[in-house]
Amino acid sequence: MSSTVEVGSQVEDFTLLDETGTARSLVELLADGPVVLFFYPAALTAGCTAEACHFRDLAAEFAEAGGRPVGVSGDSVDRQQEFAGRHTLGMPLLSDPDGKVRELFGVKRGFSLAPTKRVTFVIAQDRTVLEVVRSELRMNTHADRALAALRAHRG
């Protein structure tokens, strides 16, 4: 049951392991402010690395806008840890091996080399979606548009 999450949708809470093997729930991640949940096809691949590093490079701007980037893919905890470490990403990377959360957000593909669509959701503290960024090819557009949405939200 794949759902489509759009701007204005209310997303349900979920819990996944991060790159250190720690269980993280969406509600807990939202405690400090909005979350920018970016789904990516595969850790350590060129496009995903470019996308994640752009989020990393804008860390100060995200902090200033009150938002926090959190990555999600079907990669294992170990692979997420390698990804985070190799590029000093400094943000939670959640492991969704069975695709439950990807299905929840409607970004899971059937059997393919890229089992996850590259989609970013900006989620307010009340779990309302403020912005949805869908772009498979323009890696920087995810962080850039998410940041713009956070700034607009803060007013």
What pLDDT, in 10s, does the model give residues 104-152?
999 988 766 667 899 999 999 999 999 999 998 888 999 999 999 999 9
Q: Is residue 18 part of a domain?
A: yes
Q: What CA dihedral angle connects 31, 37, 42 and 44, to 10 degrees?
A: -60
- DSSP conformation class of 58: T
Residues ≥6 apart with Cβ < 8 Å to 130: 7, 34, 122, 123, 124, 149, 150, 153
Confidence of residue 1 (pLDDT cuts 50, 70, 90): very low
48 is annotated as an active-site residue: yes
Q: What is the DSSP string of 110-133?
A: SSSS--B--EEEEE-TTSBEEEEE
Full residue range of the structural domain in which residue 13 is found: 9-154
Q: Is residue 1 part of a domain?
A: no
Query: Looking at 37, 48, 101, 123, which residue is catalytic?
Result: 48
Q: Is residue 138 part of a domain?
A: yes
CATH number at residue 72: 3.40.30.10
Q: Is residue 144 part of a domain?
A: yes
Q: Is residue 4 part of a domain?
A: no
What pLDDT, in 10s, does the model give residues 16-70?
999 999 999 999 999 999 999 999 999 999 999 999 999 999 999 999 999 999 9
Burial (Cβ within 10 Å: 0-12, 13-18, ≥19) of residue 117: middle
Number of structural domains (the chain) is 1
Q: Is residue 3 part of a domain?
A: no
Please tell me the distance from the alpha carbon of residue 88 to that of residue 10, in angstroms, as a whole number. 32
